[in-house]
Amino acid sequence: MSYRNDSDSVELGECTRNPGYKDADGDGPAARDNISASDSEEKRDSIGVKRLSDARDEYTQIKPYAGMPKELLVLYSSKARYRVPREILFWLTVCCTLVLVAVTIAVIALSPKCLSWWQASPVYQIYPRSFKDSDGDGVGDLKGIREKLDHFEYLNIKSIWISPFYRSPMKDFGYDVEDFRDIDPLFGTMKDFEDLLAAMHSKGLKLIMDFIPNHTSDLHRWFNLSRTRDPHYEDYYVWTDCKPDGPKPNNWVSIFGNSSWTYDEVRGQCYLHQFLKEQPDLNFRNPDVIKEMIDIIHFWLEKGVDGFRMDAVKHMLEAPHMRDEPQVDPNKPPELVTTEWDLHSDYTTSQVGLHDILREFRAQMDIYSQEPGRYRFMVTESYDYEEVYKTMMYYGTRLEKEGDFPFNFYLLDLPQNTSGVWAKHLVHLWMGNMPKGKWPNWVVGNHDRTRISSSAGRLYVRAINMLLLTLPGTATTYYGEEIGMENINVTASQIQDPAGKYNTSASRDPQRSPLQWNADTNAGFNEKTNLTWLPLHPDYETVNVEAQMKDDGSVLAQYRFLNTLRQSELPLNRGWFCYVHADANVFSYIRELDGLKRAFLIVVNFGKESAVTDLSSVRELPDELKVLISTTIANDGKVFPKSRIQTEVGEGLVIQYSTNTLFNPNHPEECYISEKACYLETIDILYKC
């Protein structure tokens, strides 16, 4: 290196020695200049090898500086005062990374499964004819639904089930499907459906479609090909020999009454229909039929629908031997057997092989559920009445999944006996039979059943909504229940329902009237003309969405508050459910979560008189209890001693309290939970326990 000393600077040059440097022997650069040329030539290689070593000796007097050469950087980086801190920082980084990875793995391993969208929100059923009419023909449609999506955001509802809108001759208002891959013009077009679905997804809403596997319309292409004995479609339906003027093949009876068999003149045989004669049953013992239905499932899943409600699934298979079903009353003359209640449906429902088909449907849906954030939901419909064990089979097994849950219709029987004991019985009918780890659900109304506000009475509407939204699991709300709509009166000349035309007392029109949006003409259902497909309820001027949005004490306001509370409070959306008390009037239960001091006591009076409930024997409750919300708004915030909790007829209380002693550890036989989870307050997380 060379060295140049100017007046203002010092510069190091390559291969020039520092003239101010003295080595240990006192020899300076001058001595080394006297080395002979021959000695220099001989030692050139050794000098080159020692250059880095020499540099370490020669530059100990120079401090590090920006832009130093690589040799100098290596020199200083190897010194302990630089190397040790660097190694400490490196190993600290490694250790911190390993700790973070371990913590992340532990959190993932210990965290309970997040609630899916169908668990976190109630399912809201839309009957499309009656929700909102956008074109003035008096019948609700898909564009009308799209216009009112803000209603679900207001209610904090994410899951919407829309009853059938397939192309149909409307003999059973859409449950007689002519084309599973098309939209009936009454409701709009496929473009209208796609726009609705896109709008729903943009708002974080999920769409559940009705899927009707048991039968088609008699106008369906498959049926027309089957009746003409097309080789591929000949066995798509259930046919058997019979004569046009002779006896029926057996005594099987339709849901709508009279024989399940109708003679077809084109084919010269009888076909089975467990519903209307215009709804021939498909033959699910034919693998081609199963494949056709799976293809239809794929069609709508490709469109982006989020799930299916499987209609009337218990009727999908019939016993191949086609024997007469046993009569409920053996002494009744066979010619008087005309309704489904006259027979034990041993050969026409819940046949061996049914669940195999449904599990195949589920497996196909699971393929689409692999897409992140797009779980596809499946719920089955089966009225099994006292045979609750049959309903529970639709959950599937530990090894094979079926529906996410079957609809629970037992709360529809609440009006039969308005009492706390009866309410507990109906709840326990499900909770006591549900397979371990499964998710419950609750239904208090639908398009086939009388509105709960009419069957139980308007006095109980708020209490029933409170029950629905504080029980564990998923609530299902039929449109209008959120404002307490009641049945309408329909005269014989106004009947639209095919079932009502067969039997006026069986008409389902009263519970299907247009939704009451406001006090304007046609209750805001049809704002273009004066047409409504069914009459409006005369109370629409006061019982409507718009009016109740302005009233903090309305049915709508309380429904919204309870739904929001349920979704925001861990004890309500995934905690323990424990029976506390039931008597002739009051049904009471606790919702709590392990590790969380905050819990909820729900007290609901389903009786016929006011009641004072004494819970002093429940030592896990504090002595004084403060009401968070009452169905009687004047009682919000009221404080009761636990020995005297007062409720009026049809009143419900949600009481929030704090406790260090949970109820469920001391009363395991009274408590249920789908998936146990504990709360760790110090770091605010849930974990498996």
* Nearby residues of 391 by Cβ (< 8 Å), 6 or more positions away: 382, 384, 406, 408
> What does DSSP assign to residue 465?
H
Please compute Rg for the chain using Cα positions. 38
* Nearby residues of 273 by Cβ (< 8 Å), 6 or more positions away: 215, 254, 260, 261, 262, 279, 280, 281
Q: Which of 311, 325, 402, 404 is catalytic?
A: 311
Task: Please give the full DSSP string across 206-270, using - where no structure is assigned.
Answer: EEEEEE--SB--TTSHHHHHHHTT-TTTTTSB-EE---TTS--SS--B-TTSSBSEEEETTTTEE
* Contact indicator for 656, 597 with CB cutoff of 8 Å: no
How many C-beta neighbours within 10 Å does residue 386 have?
Answer: 8
Report d(CA 271, CA 149) in Å as an integer: 42
311 counts as catalytic: yes
Q: Could you list the beta-strand ranges (E) of 583-666.
A: 586-592, 598-605, 611-613, 624-630, 639-641, 645-647, 652-658
**End-to-end alpha carbon distance in the chain:** 72
* Nearby residues of 293 by Cβ (< 8 Å), 6 or more positions away: 213, 282, 361
One-letter amino acid of 472: P
* Chain mean position to CA 631: 27
Report d(CA 389, CA 102) in Å as an integer: 44
One-letter amino acid of 165: F
One-letter amino acid of 590: I
Q: Which of 192, 281, 318, 381 is catalytic?
A: 381
Exposure string for 352-375, b = 16+ CB within 10 A, e = fewer? eebbebbbbbbebbeebbeeeeeb
Report d(CA 431, CA 408) in Å as an integer: 10
Using DSSP's 3-state secondary structure scheme, residue 128 falls into: helix
Task: Please give the full DSSP string across 297-324, using - where no structure is assigned.
Answer: HHHHHHHT--EEEETTGGGS---TT-PP
Greatest Cα pair distance in the chain:
139
One-letter amino acid of 479: Y
381 counts as catalytic: yes
CA triple 35-37-43, angle to 5 deg = 75
Let me know how long the chain is. Answer: 689
Block residue for tokens 């004819």: 129
Q: Which residues pair with 588 in a beta bridge?
A: 581, 603
- Helix axis angle for 37-58 and 70-77, nearest 10°, is 50
Q: Please report how many Cα atoms fall inside a 13 Å half-sphere around the Cα of residue 508, on the Cβ side.
A: 14
Report d(CA 44, CA 40) in Å as an integer: 6
* Contact indicator for 118, 168 with CB cutoff of 8 Å: no
CA-closest candidate to residue 496, choices 129, 125, 126: 129
Dihedral angle sign, alpha carbons of residues 411, 413, 415, 416: negative
Report d(CA 609, CA 647) in Å as an integer: 9
> What does DSSP assign to residue 537?
P
Catalytic site residues?
311, 381
